Every structure is written in C-alpha cells, then in structure tokens.
Amino acid sequence: MDFHHIPVLFNETIKMLDCQPGDIIVDGTLGGGGHAQAILERILPGGTLIGIDRDPDALEAARRRLCKYQDSLITIHDNFANIESILGQLGIEAIDGMIMDLGVSSYQLDKGSRGFSYQSNAPLDMRMDPTQGLSAHDVVNKYDERRLTRIISQYGEERWAARIAKFIVDNRPIDTTEQLTQVIKAAIPAKARRQGPHPAKRTFQAIRIEVNKELEILEGAIESAVNKMKSGGRLCIITFHSLEDRIVKNTFKKLQNPCTCPPDAPICICGNQPLIKIVTRKPIIPSEREISENPRSRSAKLRACQKL
C-alpha cells in the first residue's frame, strides 16, 4: 500500500515557518514527507531537515519520497518529545524552526491492519510505534472500568463513557476493531446513536490517545522545542481536536507570559521572562475549498509562535 497522505494547511504552514536557505529545521511528524518536501525545497542550499516519526513505515515512505534530498535529510525513529536528546546526539545546538502535524496520518488510518479505524476489521492495536509495549488490546482488555470511563470521557469527550466502559468490561475479551465497534454501538442508546458522527468515533479517538500518550507529552515537547530554538525561530503546530488545541494554546500563552506574580503586584518579582511571541492570535483553519478537497482537514487548526 502506498503511503498516501495529503498534507493539511500546507501553504499556511510553510508560510508561517518562513524557512530560509541554510536553516536547520525539525519536522517532528515526518509522516509521508509532504510538508518536509516543501521545507527541503526552501532550506537548500546549505540547510538540514531532521525528520522524526514514531512510525518506522512512515520513515521508510518519507525516505523513498525524499531520496533526492538524502544529503540534507536526517531521519530519526523516535518521539518528538525527545527533541532535546535527539538534537544532543546529533551535536546540534539550536534550530531555526520546527513543525508538529499531530495525530495519525491517512496512511495509518487507512491501513486496516494497524487497528486505528472502526471502518475496517483488524486486531486492536493503534500503536503509532509498533515497537512500543502498550496496545489498544491492553487498554480495552486490562484497564478497569473506572479507568476506561475516565479515558473515554476525557480523551473522547463522550457523554456515554460510563456505559461504554461497563459494556466493554462485560464483553471481554475483545480482540478486534469490529467487536469493539459492536460493543460501543450496543452501549449507546439507539436515539443517541442516530445523531452526530459514527458512534465509535469518540471512543476510538480516546483509546488511540491513551495508547500513544498523545496529550501527556505535548506541553513538555513544546517547551523542549522552544528551548532549542534560535532567536527568531518558529514553531508551527497543527492539531486535529479541541483537547490538543487547548494544550497548544495554553502552553503558548504560558511561554509568552510566564510571570507568576499576583495580578495586583505593582512590579514583577518572579523574574520570569517571556520566551516566545504568539504569531497566530487566532488559529488558522482550512478554507472551505481545502475541506471539500480533503474532508480530513475539517478539524485542523494551525498555531505558530516565534522565539524571542
């Protein structure tokens, strides 16, 4: 199967990143290499792109696509949360910019065997990095009812979380995406099932976030990226749901205004200096045209900041 992924908010992200020949840029979510190709075209001659992905299949596909740039591309199988140690090992002191295009790729969703999608039957897996231990099978079959309720409620924003968790526990073992989808459908009352998106959408999102610890790493990863950024360097982040976007928005705000003094303090005594300037006052969202051409872009939001 080809690695097919249409990069989201493509022109907007490349413009925001504002990279120049000679720059050292990190693509923390290399995926199929769509954004990476445009970055490489702009940083040559003299520039370097460090492409990170948790998924070895993505790295392989990106290396193939970007083979003509191989002298300027370094690919790393890792979590972008480890950006400081990755750069340390490469002997790179500071970078000119970084992009994070969060979540899963179309390739991961469409490749049924990865178990990300309720639309094709496969063993429950959902690991972006197939070498990690925890899989969706573990979450679904080993977590207790309370923990499952909390995850489905928090990460899926699913109002039927408690019922779904109970049905999951009562129907174990659950081995496949189809079995899980049937259990979720049975847990949600028929009337509620007829409204809104596919009844399994929120629960699948929640389990995927838990398996890949997608939210837990985000704030620290942003701080690490900003730490390694040269003055004037830009960090661009594309999110796909409100939970991710909230973390990006709040972390950017905290880094722009880190002062912890009480609001009524006459002068600042904490001494915390702003590290960034937020470049996107409001998040950039896809045009109607992009959404009609690529429905998966519908929920995307781009936020960018600049290191002071």
Interface with ligand SAM includes 32 (CB under 6 A)?
Answer: yes
Please report how close the Cβ of residue 102 comes to ligand SAM at its closest, in angstroms. 6
Q: Which stretch binds ligand SAM (CB under 6 A): 51-59, 114-122, 288-296, 297-305?
A: 51-59
Distance between CA atoms of 214 and 261, rounded to whole angstroms?
31
CA dist 32 to 36, 211, 226, Å?
8, 22, 25
Are 274 and 256 in contact, with CB atoms under 8 Å apart? Answer: yes
CA dist 84 to 18, 249, 257, 308, Å?
22, 22, 23, 19
Find the binder of ligand SAM among 19, 29, 96, 97 (CB under 6 A).
29
Find the binder of ligand SAM among 9, 16, 23, 33 (CB under 6 A).
33
Please report how close the Cβ of residue 74 comes to ligand SAM at its closest, in angstroms. 14
Interface with ligand SAM includes 103 (CB under 6 A)?
Answer: yes
In Å, the largest CA–CA distance within the chain is 62
Which residues are 98's β-sheet partners? Answer: 26, 235
For residues 72 to 101, the per-residue mask of contacts with ligand SAM, x marking binding by CB under 6 A and - elsewhere, is: -------xxx-------------------x
Interface with ligand SAM includes 31 (CB under 6 A)?
Answer: yes
Report helix angle 177-187 to 161-170, nearest 10: 130
Interface with ligand SAM includes 202 (CB under 6 A)?
Answer: no
Residue number, 5 or 111, with CB nearest to ligand SAM: 5
Interface with ligand SAM includes 205 (CB under 6 A)?
Answer: no
Positions 3 through 22 that interact with ligand SAM (CB under 6 A) = 5, 7
Distance between CA atoms of 209 and 215, rounded to whole angstroms?
7
Number of H helices, E strands in the chain: 14, 7
Sign of CA dihedral 76, 93, 301, 139: positive
Distance between CA atoms of 8 and 285, rounded to whole angstroms?
10
Distance between CA atoms of 138 and 191, rounded to whole angstroms?
31
For residues 115 to 144, the per-residue mask of contacts with ligand SAM, x marking binding by CB under 6 A and - elsewhere, is: -------------x----------------
For residues 163 to 192, the per-residue mask of contacts with ligand SAM, x marking binding by CB under 6 A and - elsewhere, is: ------------------------------
Interface with ligand SAM includes 105 (CB under 6 A)?
Answer: yes
Please report how close the Cβ of residue 303 comes to ligand SAM at its closest, in angstroms. 15
Q: Interface residues with ligand SAM (CB under 6 A)?
A: 5, 7, 28-29, 31-35, 52-55, 58, 79-81, 101, 103-105, 128, 217
